[in-house]
Structure 1
Amino acid sequence: MSRSLIPPLEPRARARARRGLRAALGRFAKRMILVLGIAGAGALLAFAGFHFAAELPWFRVARVEITGTSYLTRAEILDAAGIEAGSSVLEKRSRLEERLEELALVESATVERDLPSTLLLAIDEAEPVALVAEPVVVPVDRAGNRIPFGPRTAMLDLPLLRVVPAGASAPSGLPTLAREVSRLAEQMPEVFAVLSEARGGDREVTLLLGESGVKVRYRPPFSEPRLRAAILAINDSARRFPGRSPHEVDLRFDDQVVVRTAALVEAGGG
């Protein structure tokens, strides 16, 4: 019969081992209770300390720096955020951001602190790209969403969007038309600067450019090279035929730039 390499413990030895294990577990439990108690007390003290500090005069808001605004006034921002004399710089930033984002002109807001007494507000405003008449003129953003600008609308120098017929479905509806104008502003700002109106109709877009209202017709989405070709054709036609200024440039046909004069359009040519 094989013999065990570890001899069996005597009853007294086994009892001593059990008592030692219980004592070790007891000491461990006491240490854990002590550690958790200290941690809990520390968290409680930190919480109480934060709220106590928020009431101290050193942490009163003395300065507010606002960036990213073009249309909202400082007073409107401070009023929306609830920042006034006596406000604490330690107020929850998420709460301030939520208040600011309730403003219709604010897409997002970020609040930072520069202790002890400065708040930094970064505002991302909704950017109007055009106007629609309903019949009151209302600005819209790049997605065609109406922006409640109120009296500020009068200061906007933006092209008018017109969906023909009214209520036309995608892709020639207001959202597509707004996206086209927004892309034009980003990629060809020199053309956007002379754009007076954009019309969306039967799956096509018509841009009215300059004081003479030269029309550029194309099927969305617009191509920058094609639109640059249209501008070159307008300038070339005006230079070569000063008495017959171009009335319309048609980009609806692949690989073609068709220039029509007013007389040709009236005669039904093209």
Structure 2
Amino acid sequence: MPNATVKRQFRLLAVTVVIAPLAYWGPHLVETVSDLEVFAVREGEIEVRGIERLTKQTVVSLLGLGSMASVWGDAAVWRERVTADPLVRAVEIQRKFPNGLRVTVEERVPVAFAGRSMLEPLDAEGYQLPIDPTAPALDLPIISSESRGPDNAGLFPEEVRTLAAELEHLNATRPGFANLISTIRLHSKGIVAVRLHNPDVEFIMPIRTEGVRIKEGESALGHIMQLRSGRPPAEVDLRFLDQVVVRPERSIETISTYMAGGR
């Protein structure tokens, strides 16, 4: 009576015997091989990576595998089913022979709240996300815009999408600064106004401003707050080449002008 190890070796040998002709004859045998029970996908052999808000059970359910689904099944169809979920941005599916799948998910990450009938979380591409906006972990800036769109639209209007993409840029370029953002709005064409919550000050700057330029504004802000006994000004303006303009009141009087890199 063969032991479990011998049985396993025979099983692997049988699988190899079936797979080997595929390397020689190519895809012509795939349809036939996919019907073999030995290649049936087993849920316990499905590996799911990259998920935070979704669960493995949810992803497996989205795959829509039947009881006799084969690892040779149509991966394009599986990808389409998973990416239909509004929390999924992209997915990659790999076969793990003889009975498994590796599913790597890229989830959509909330970057801000934007208004419709109520504030809703959205990602950097402007897609509304089905996440409870009252969840404690959602400490996000608010996009201020008159462009709202209907409640049932999955994608926010262009102005909101532009501001969401700008927040993603700031998160990547100057994360410490981005973590302090309270609200963001369009100031004028190509210009955003970013309000911080600590200190309470508004940065006015071109879209896609680089991190080194923002750092110059932060340096000027710190210096002026020292002169004002810790009181922040109203605005830090980064629109002017090689200058940082600091205003004690919004767009009225200029308290000081700093050259980039120093006063």
Whether these two folds match at TM > 0.5 is yes
Question: Cα distance 1:44–1:231, how it changes in 2: closer, same or farther (>3 A)?
Answer: closer
The answer (yes or no) to whether the contact 1:60–1:86 under 8 Å persists in 2 is no
Q: CA deviation at 1:153?
A: 6.6
Residue 97 of structure 1 and its aligned partner are, at CA, apart by 1.4
Listed as ranges, the matches of 1:218-233 within 5 Å are 218-233=205-220
Q: 1:150 Cα shift?
A: 3.6
| Partner residue in 2 for 1:142 | 124
**C-alpha separation between the residues in 2 aligned to 1:247 and 1:132?**
24
Q: Residues 249 and 48 from structure 1, CA distance in 2 versus in 1: closer, same or farther, beyond 3 angstroms?
A: closer
Shift in Å, 1:59: 5.2
Q: Matches of 1:43 and 1:179 in 2, distance apart? A: 44
- Judged with a 3 Å threshold, the aligned counterparts in structure 2 of structure 1 residues 84 and 190 are, in CA distance, closer, same or farther, namely farther
Aligned to 2:17: none
Deviations, residues 66-85 of structure 1 (Å, cap 9, x unaligned): 11222222222111112476
Q: Is the 8 A contact 1:112 1:119 kept in 2?
A: yes
CA distance in 1, matches of 2:27, 2:228: 84
Alignment of 1:48-87 (within 5 A): 49-53=32-36, 55-56=37-38, 60-83=42-65, 87=69
**The one of 219, 228, 242 aligned to 1:241:** 228
Query: Aligned letter for 1:108?
Result: A
Contact 1:61 1:89 in 2 (8 A): no
CA contact (8 A) 2:123 2:129 kept: no
Task: From the CA coordinates, give the structure whose radius of gyration is larger.
Answer: 1
Question: 1:61 touches 1:86 (CA, 8 Å); kept in 2?
Answer: no
Structure 2: how far apart are the matches of 1:110 and 1:243? 51
1:183 to 169, 179, 190: 169
Cα distance in 1, alignment partners of residues 53 and 223 from structure 2: 40
Q: CA deviation at 1:167?
A: 3.6
Which amino acid in 2 is paired with 1:102?
A
- Which consecutive residues of structure 2, in runs of 5 or more, have no partner in the other structure? 1-24, 149-157, 255-263
- In the alignment, the residues of structure 1 paired with residue 88 and residue 138 of structure 2 have an alpha-carbon distance, to the nearest angstrom, of 17
1:46 maps to which residue?
29
Matched residue, 2:3 = none
CA contact (8 A) 1:161 1:198 kept: yes
User: Which one has the bigger helix percentage?
Assistant: 1
Please give the alpha-carbon distance, in whole angstroms, between the structure 2 residues aligned to 1:205 and 1:87: 51
Alpha-carbon distance, 1:195 to partner: 1.1
Deviation at 1:241, TM superposition (A): 2.7
Q: Percent identity?
A: 26
TM-score, with structure 2 as normaliser: 0.71
> Is 2:187 the partner of 1:201?
yes
TM-score (norm. length: structure 1): 0.70
Question: 1:246 aligns to what SS in structure 2?
Answer: coil
Matched, 1:253 2:246: no
What SS does structure 2 have at the residue aligned with 1:237? Answer: helix
User: Where do 5+ consecutive residues of structure 1 fail to align?
Assistant: 1-41
- Letter of the aligned partner of 1:93 in structure 2? A
Shift of 1:156: 2.2
Q: Which amino acid aligns with 1:185?
A: N
- 1:44: Cα distance to partner? 11
Provide the C-alpha distance between the structure 2 equivalents of 1:202 and 1:83, rounded to a whole number of angstroms.
Answer: 51
